């Protein structure tokens, strides 16, 4: 009986963790759609903030126009402090529309909350990482 209760508690905890991550992803993506780049930047983890100054992100991010998104998959690593999220984004870039472009995001759990872990800016395009 005790093992069953422990298993249920772990499953309940994982579900709550996944729900909180999903909510953070939605809020981060909505900030981008709304063009609220300062708000989107607030979702960055501590290492991303060290590597990417707020002004650089806000000025660079304004070149993309986010139109919509859908969350395809959320995978939380067994450690519980890292996750990958696969999203499909609708964007406009340099006058061209790209619908349902795939993008994999990395998230980390810091200070009791989920944060987006940005890749180095020089390697990112609207279509994911450059080789």
Nearest C-alpha neighbor of 126 from the set 100, 101, 99: 101
Domains of the chain, first to last: 12-129 (3.10.450.100)
pLDDT at residue 3 in the model: 54
Q: Counting every residue, how long is the chain? A: 131
Helical spans, DSSP H, in the chain: 2-33, 37-41, 46-51, 54-61
* 41-51: average pLDDT: 96
Please answer whether residues 118 and 44 qualify as being in contact, where contact means their C-beta atoms are separated by less than 8 angstroms: yes
Sheet (strand 64-76) strand order: 64-76, 82-93, 96-110, 113-117
Where residue 53 falls (left for φ over 0; alpha for ψ -120 to 50; beta otherwise) is beta
Q: What distance in Å separates the CA atoms of residue 1 and residue 63, rounded to the nearest whole number?
A: 57
| pTM for the structure as a whole | 0.79
pLDDT, one tens digit per residue, over 80-127 is: 999 999 999 999 988 889 999 999 999 999 999 999 999 765 444 555
Residue that is written with structure tokens 């422990």 in the block? 6
């Amino acid at each position: 009986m005790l093992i069953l209760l422990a298993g249920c508690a772990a499953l309940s905890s994982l579900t709550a963790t996944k729900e909180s991550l999903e909510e953070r992803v939605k809020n981060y993506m909505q900030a981008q759609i709304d063009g609220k780049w300062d708000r989107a930047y607030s979702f960055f983890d501590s290492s991303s903030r060290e590597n990417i100054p707020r002004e650089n992100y806000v000025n660079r991010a304004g070149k993309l126009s986010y139109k919509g998104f859908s969350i395809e998959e959320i995978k939380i690593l067994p450690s519980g402090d890292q996750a990958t999220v696969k999203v499909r984004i609708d964007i406009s870039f340099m006058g061209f529309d790209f619908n349902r472009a795939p993008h994999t995001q990395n998230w980390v759990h810091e200070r009791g909350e989920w944060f987006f872990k940005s890749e180095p800016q020089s390697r990112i395009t609207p279509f994911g990482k450059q080789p």
